[in-house]
């Protein structure tokens, strides 16, 4: 399913199939980047998070983790024996939310994202209001590997 179609159909409590695993969406958040564009982040069951990437027509499936990295973050790093390269830094505000209130409307975060050559993904984040770290680790999901159940 492409990202545009996903954005049209997404709702809290929707069931998703990613690869051979099933997930339930607990919260949908529309995050607005500082440049005015946006992305959709979904909190799923069992601590997973799914975010879309319209430019790449793909998704990122991650779970929250603790990392040993501190600011300023390097351009290249190694985590769990995997080498990651810096992809981008961004700042976004939760503009709209649907479903459970896991992340609150109006809260914002800054994140530094990294990708490995084999599509592992690492996002090092900081919640603006609390200065709390919010790091995620997972993988890039091609659009064809995600569907609604």
Q: Which tens digits make up the pLDDT trace of 65-91?
A: 999 999 999 999 999 999 999 999 999
Query: What's the half-sphere exposure (Cβ side, CA atoms, 13 Å) at 29?
Result: 26
DSSP state letters, 67-126: ----SSPPSEEEETTEEEEEEEEEEEEEEEEEES-SS-TT-EEEEEEEE-TTSEEEEEEE
User: Average pLDDT of 96-102?
Assistant: 95
Rounded CA gap, 50 and 140, in Å?
A: 10
pLDDT tens digits for range 7-63:
999 999 999 999 899 999 999 999 999 999 999 999 999 999 999 999 999 999 999
- pTM for this prediction: 0.95
Whole-angstrom CA distances from 111 to 17, 21, 56, 133, 135 are: 27, 27, 18, 10, 9
What is the per-residue pLDDT across 105-144, written as a single tens digit (0 to 9) for each? 999 999 999 999 999 999 999 999 999 999 999 999 999 9
């Amino acid at each position: 399913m492409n990202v545009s179609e996903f954005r049209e159909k997404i709702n809290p409590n929707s069931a998703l199939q990613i690869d051979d695993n099933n997930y339930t969406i607990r919260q949908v958040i529309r995050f607005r980047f500082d440049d005015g564009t946006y992305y959709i982040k979904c909190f799923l069951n069992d601590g997973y998070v799914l975010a879309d990437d319209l430019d790449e027509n793909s998704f990122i499936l991650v779970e929250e983790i603790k990392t040993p990295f501190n600011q300023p973050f390097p351009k290249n790093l190694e985590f769990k024996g995997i080498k990651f390269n810096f992809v981008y830094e961004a700042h976004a505000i939760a503009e709209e939310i649907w479903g459970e209130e896991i992340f609150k409307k109006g809260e914002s975060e800054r994140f530094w994202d990294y990708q490995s050559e084999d599509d592992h993904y690492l996002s090092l984040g900081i919640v603006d209001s609390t200065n709390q770290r919010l790091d995620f680790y997972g993988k890039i999901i091609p659009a064809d590997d995600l569907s609604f159940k």
